[in-house]
Structure 1
């Protein structure tokens, strides 16, 4: 046991002090975002919105995320990641607290759009900061540490959120979300001042390439949109499935979602460390992660046994653990070809687009066809994602062989 623990700790060695601070800031911020997993329940049970209304609210959520990610990328390239991160955290904290007073459909759509516009301007800036504070050989593990912080916060967040809902009210969640954003800002200002932080990988390009001309990156982005649509069902339609079909309580739903974060906390870093030392490519690993995530929906229609929910969560969790770190590392590697803010903004926008279409489409499919048919359609989207990642892998191999032939000649 001592050897296992020692080996686990060794997977964290070599990461910079600044990356650890970024992880702490992310942990504080993410621990408070317990509103998001319960948003569909809040809108249907508390505000009495229809599933169609919830779908449009989630589309506003995604649209705000798209605009925010694009804006965050532009601002990061112009004024730097530090200023963008501080601005985003402060304003997001205020907006989250304000969100709870909105009770009409139109006002909530506008409110969630503004919240996500400001909140997701943080993401491209954070990715660029993470790249700057990481040695090239440590980037995937640095991304994994950030994800570990996200999921450690997320493992506690839904469980605590479910308890707060049942014992107090939904309103307390908005206050916690806002306050934790403000606390994260204080930590950021204190420990990551650009005058004190040490940059380990500065990328400068006199003639940067446009991300929009990078064919491999565009194929990758389409695949990530599809993967995001599939993955996000676990945070919109799936909680409703747990509640309405499987008859779980909010607290049980929180525990099930919390299991996802706990497993990632325990297994993701050793898994990524091991996979980095194999011969698998990033595109191949992303493909495998997409397969596992798709299978998590396939099995739901096979049995009414409640244990299948745990198996599905396990498949999705390991699929997520493999797909997200290597997709993020893939994006950061490609970003060295051009403006980093632009590349990382597009990577963030891919998932923002998934928010726009994923939640709304999922809700409408459930309302029109029921959960069983919805899971079949989601599985088909996962299959298309896998196909595109296969095409990406073949395309990258072709480019690699072409470059090798030129060198030989």
Structure 2
């Protein structure tokens, strides 16, 4: 037992204090992010919007994310990740508080766009911060620790959020979201100081190495994979909660419990799993491929049975896919990003998730509206099989490029 415990703790060793602080701030921020998992339910149950209207609101969510991550990447290269992260957290908190006062369909579209524009500028900046505060050999584990903090926050948030909705109301979530974002920005500002670069590092950062990410064919293939896979993954934050409620008649607190399962599995198992995959020398591209396989399986099993346990199995499969694919695809994107352009490259990487919000939620809602949940899961499964083939192509091309470089 002692050996198991020691091996588990070893997965966390060697990470810098700054990475731990960034993880703490991220946890505080994500623990308060209770609105997002329940947003589709809130829009239907409290605001009375139709499924197609919810789809368009989530498209505005994606457009705000797309613009925010693009600007966030540019700003990260221009003014540094520290300022971008701090300002994004602070003004994002104010945005969450203001969003509850939007009542009309168009007002909510505008409000969600503005909020996510500010909040998602954080995303490319946090990836660059991981790279800046980590030794090269620890980058994947540093990203995994940040993800652990995100998921620990998300695992606690939906449970608390579901209880608050059941016992108080939806609007309380907006206040909690906003206040925790502001607290996270203050904590970061007080405790984390910007990394002081040496003269040669400053010179290297200012010089733009390599081609633009928009002209890098191999990197664009990775982005295509991320866009298509994320379009399916985001269904777990919009269509799937509605499926739980409308087909399986689950209440918000039970739905929160299922989302909690995702987070707690990641918190307990992701770091050891990432450490083990690194020790067996699984490539980042193959890890990304296996992530797609498990994600595809998580959707197709939903059509096997109406038994409640199948929902648990689906959530576990999705979580395993996320644990394998996400840290390694993040690390792969960073590895492919040349110095002086990391903000732009990681901005484009983050934009892939934004694009998935634009098309994923809307597409999922309209597919369900036209063809029902069962056929929607078949379509998503087929799409992910195609993405797996693209991952195999990426793996072969990256392997070939490395052979030619040696």
Q: The TM-score by the shorter chain falls in which range?
A: over 0.9
The question of whether the paired residues in 2 share the 8 Å contact of 1:18 and 1:198 is answered with: no
Number of the residue aligned with 2:51: 51
Superposition deviation, residue 184 in structure 1: 0.2
Point out where structure 2 has 5 or more consecutive residues left out of the alignment: none
Q: Partners of 2:405 and 2:81 in 1: how far apart?
A: 34
Question: Which piece of structure 1 moves more, 274-283 or 17-26?
Answer: 274-283
Distance 1:355 1:255 in 2: 24
Secondary structure at the counterpart of residue 62 of structure 2: helix
What SS does the aligned partner of 1:402 have?
Answer: helix
1:378 partnered with 2:380: yes
Separation in 2, partners of 1:172, 1:206: 47
**Match of 1:18?**
18
Q: Is the 8 A contact 1:211 1:338 kept in 2?
A: no
Q: Residue 29 of structure 2 corresponds to which residue in structure 1?
A: 29
The CA distance in 1 between the partners of 2:11 and 2:338, in whole Å, is 25
Q: Alignment partner of 2:282: what SS?
A: coil
User: Matches of 1:369 and 1:219 in 2, distance apart?
Assistant: 30
Distance of aligned partners of 1:205 and 1:334 in 2 relative to their CA distance in 1, 3 Å threshold: farther
Alignment of 1:254-265 (within 5 A): 254-265=256-267
Take 1:121 and 1:345, find their aligned partners in 2: how far apart are those partners? 8
CA-to-partner distance for each residue in 1:21-54, whole Å, 9 max, x for gaps? 0000100000011100000000001100000000
- For residue 240 of structure 1, the aligned residue among 239, 242, 247 is 242
Q: Which runs of 5 or more structure 1 residues have no equivalent in the other structure?
A: 405-409
| TM-score of the superposed pair, with normalisation by structure 2 | 0.97
Q: Using structure 1 for the length normalisation, give the TM-score.
A: 0.96
> CA RMSD, aligned part only?
1.6
* Distance in structure 2 (CA, Å) of the matches to 1:205 and 1:391: 33
Matches within 5 A, 1:2-401: 2-194=2-194, 204=205, 206-209=207-210, 210-336=212-338, 339-401=341-403
* Deviating 4+ runs (over 2 angstroms): 195-199, 201-207, 400-404
Counting matched residue pairs gives 403
Alpha-carbon distance in 1 for matches of 2:153, 2:198: 26
In the TM superposition, residue 2 of structure 1 has moved relative to its aligned partner by: 2.7
Say if 1:223 and 1:385, in contact at 8 Å, map to a contact too. yes
- In structure 2, what is the equivalent of residue 407 of structure 1? none
Render the CA deviation track for 1:120-170: whole Å, top value 9, x for unaligned.
011111111111000000000000000000000011000000000000000
